[in-house]
Amino acid sequence: MGGRWNYFRGMASIDELKRIATQVRRDILRQVHAVNSGHPGGSLGCTDFFTALYFHVLKHKPDAFSMDGNGEDLFFLSNGHISPVWYSVLARSGYFPVSELNTFRKLNSRLQGHPTTHEHLPGVRMASGSLGQGLSVAIGAAISKKLSNDSALVYTLHGDGELQEGQIWEAAMYASAKKVDNLIATVDANGQQIDGSTEHVLSLGNLQAKFEAFGWMVFQMNGNDMQEVVAGLENARKHTGQGKPIVVLMKTEMGMGVDFMMGSHKWHGVAPNDEQLAKGLAQLEETLGDY
Amino acid sequence: MAVQFTFTDQNDTRSGFGAGLLELGKNNPNVVALCADLTGSLKMDAFEKAFPERFFQVGIAEANMMGIAAGLTIGGKIPFTGTFANFSTGRVYDQIRQSIAYSGKNVKICASHAGLTLGEDGATHQILEDIGLMKMLPGMVVINPCDFNQTKAATLAIAQHEGPVYLRFGRPKVPNFTPADQKFEIGKALMLKEGKDVSIFATGHLVWKALKAAEILDAEGIDAEVINIHTIKPLDEAAVLASVNKTGCAVSAEEHQRHGGLGDSIAQVFARFRPTPLEYVAVNDSFGESGTPEELMVKYGLDTADIVKAARAAIARR
């Protein structure tokens, strides 16, 4: 039936996080395979980040979700298409029954193709899918926390291709000008988007320099090294409250953990067939029990 | 029974919004306001001065403003965004659709300088499509008050409503004639003048013109009923049907495209429940242009005389 991880902030060891991550990767493959649709590539690439965030970094209450999240750290997924990884960590950390992963993208499900509040799925606080909107919403939530004297933090994740959207840079300008320093944005820098590499489609140039020019504190980390992800997110956390928004540029490999899905944009939005699923699952240990 | 109205003075509906917002600021600590570099034009300066910690100047970045407003609701704030109507709707439609409407966020989108009466700035700024855009969004309430007092009352009322609202108002000084102490009920049409020959359903700046038209019609022996539809969505279908059950024909009057506006909402009610002749007073598939508000309303067929003509035509089709 698939288990949850009993979780408290800062409790899981690196080894435990790695073991959770292999289960999350299994969940991703099985979700997209079951409905022959969805986005496995970016989901697999961000699995280590999501696992570290939900099982080690966030101060949150998975078993008592509230939209307002007073006193809790909030997370906003701006690149909503990588919903399979988010749904897996939400379920595995206790926001909703793990068995519900079985409803992903099916009729009458709370697990819509792209995440939404519309079906009241615990853990989700805004709809995303149309790209470039999450940073603005997160800024609003961060300001709301400041107005309420709530010292918890607001996190976001964005795709690197998503940074081609202009609204991201409106938001980036605002966050530094207005000193929104309770905000940690992360960017999944996998260098890939639907039509090919970001370099080929529309080069992002020097992202570190761009964010610095916009007045942000910028950190980099390897998003597929669990130790580095945990250390990187804790380091970012330490730098909040210093008058600047923070962005962590996270180098990842699309398809990470499944050898034939890595090194290409081909698996951005394509589900594995039966044979490919079996081949992928053979590379990922079932640590918490499949749903 | 018709509501009592008396002409008191000329005032702009946007100032009604500014006055309402200031009052909300005093009475409701959760009310916050955002503006995209048009604080003076939106009459939000009094709120900014009184509550600087609850006012957010976002600069010329409307998409970001809508997203921030959506985020501010998380934690219980009630955000009011302010900019011109074209920048409040068409420019940010996808942000409103996904981050506000689909996400079910309690944001009040307040839009000034709607329609032709923006005047000399011309068609780039004279949005005539905003009612249609906004009423199509599931769950969105669409309100277009008719004068200063009603705009102020509507501003107070929408803070009490849980869910996204589009509040549309305008730039010029127009007659202020509804009661200062009116209670604004979202979705409830107001009977301004009872009559038996033709129903005139008017919204926004066209309401006063409809009352003037009714006086002219009265001199011709035509007894027109004038109903103020301040809430276009949800539409007071019962009031619309009750009126035409009596009169048998109707005129819709609005500062908006014919396609997708109040008239189309009324036509839908007629088609579904009671086929009824309807004449539109609205802009006929055209952009506006520079000119004074008065000149534009005449040229584009939105004046008192056009309502009179439409009423005669509706009666002739009965």
Provide the CATH number for the domain around residue B47: 3.40.50.970
Contact: A143, B72; criterion CB under 8 Å: yes
Within a domain: B3:
no
Within a domain: B167:
yes
Name residues whose C-beta falls within 8 Å of residue B289's C-beta, 6 or more positions apart in sequence: B122, B123, B296
Specify the DSSP class assigned to residue B100.
I
Is there a single domain that holds both residue B129 and residue B155?
Answer: yes
Within a domain: A82:
yes
Residue (of B305, B315, B298) closest to B224 by Cα position: B315
Within a domain: A111:
yes
Burial class (CB in 10 A: 0-12, 13-18, 19+), B117: buried
Decide if B103 touches A, using CB distance below 8 A: yes
Within a domain: A288:
no
Find the CB nearest A170 among B61, B73, B75.
B61
Is there a single domain that holds both residue B34 and residue B167?
Answer: yes
Q: B75 contacts in A (CB within 8 Å)? A: 68-70, 141, 144-145, 147-148, 150
Is there a single domain that holds both residue B70 and residue B199?
Answer: no
Within a domain: A8:
no
Closest CA of chain A from B74, distance in Å:
5
- Residue range of the domain that includes B199: 190-317
- The per-residue pLDDT for A1 is 53
Boundary of a domain, candidates B119, B144, B176: B176
pLDDT tens for B268-289 read: 999 999 999 999 999 999 999 9
Decide if A146 touches B, using CB distance below 8 A: no
Name residues whose C-beta falls within 8 Å of residue B47's C-beta, 6 or more positions apart in sequence: B18, B21, B22, B25, B33, B54, B55
Is there a single domain that holds both residue B44 and residue B153?
Answer: yes
Contact: A170, B72; criterion CB under 8 Å: no
Contact: A167, B32; criterion CB under 8 Å: no
Is there a single domain that holds both residue B124 and residue B94?
Answer: yes
Contact: A67, B59; criterion CB under 8 Å: no
Token pair in block for residue A120: 């009241």
Q: How many independent structural domains does chain A possess?
A: 1
Boundary of a domain, candidates B133, B148, B176: B176
Within a domain: B80:
yes
Is there a single domain that holds both residue B172 and residue B196?
Answer: no
- The per-residue pLDDT for A265 is 86
Specify the DSSP class assigned to residue B96.
I
Is there a single domain that holds both residue B167 and residue B211?
Answer: no
Burial class (CB in 10 A: 0-12, 13-18, 19+), A13: exposed
Q: Which residues of chain A have pLDDT under 70?
A: 1, 7
Within a domain: A100:
yes
Closest CA of chain B from A288, distance in Å:
32
Is there a single domain that holds both residue B207 and residue B163?
Answer: no
Within a domain: A5:
no
Decide if A184 touches B, using CB distance below 8 A: no
3-state secondary structure of A25: helix
Specify the DSSP class assigned to residue A16.
H
Within a domain: B164:
yes
Residue (of B26, B34, B39, B111) closest to B70 by Cα position: B34
Q: Which residues of chain B have pLDDT under 70?
A: 1
Q: How many independent structural domains does chain B possess?
A: 2
**Is this prediction's pTM over 0.90?**
yes
- CATH assignment at residue A259: 3.40.50.970
Within a domain: B153:
yes
Is there a single domain that holds both residue B239 and residue B299?
Answer: yes
Is there a single domain that holds both residue B19 and residue B117?
Answer: yes
Is there a single domain that holds both residue B197 and residue B279?
Answer: yes
Strands B198-202 and B55-57: unpaired
Boundary of a domain, candidates B176, B210, B241: B176
3-state secondary structure of B128: coil
Within a domain: A4:
no
- Residue range of the domain that includes A271: 14-281
Residue (of A194, A82, A81, A183) closest to B68 by Cα position: A183
- The per-residue pLDDT for B4 is 73
- CATH assignment at residue B213: 3.40.50.920
Q: B104 contacts in A (CB within 8 Å)? A: 117-118
Is there a single domain that holds both residue B214 and residue B82?
Answer: no
Within a domain: A218:
yes
Decide if A130 touches B, using CB distance below 8 A: yes
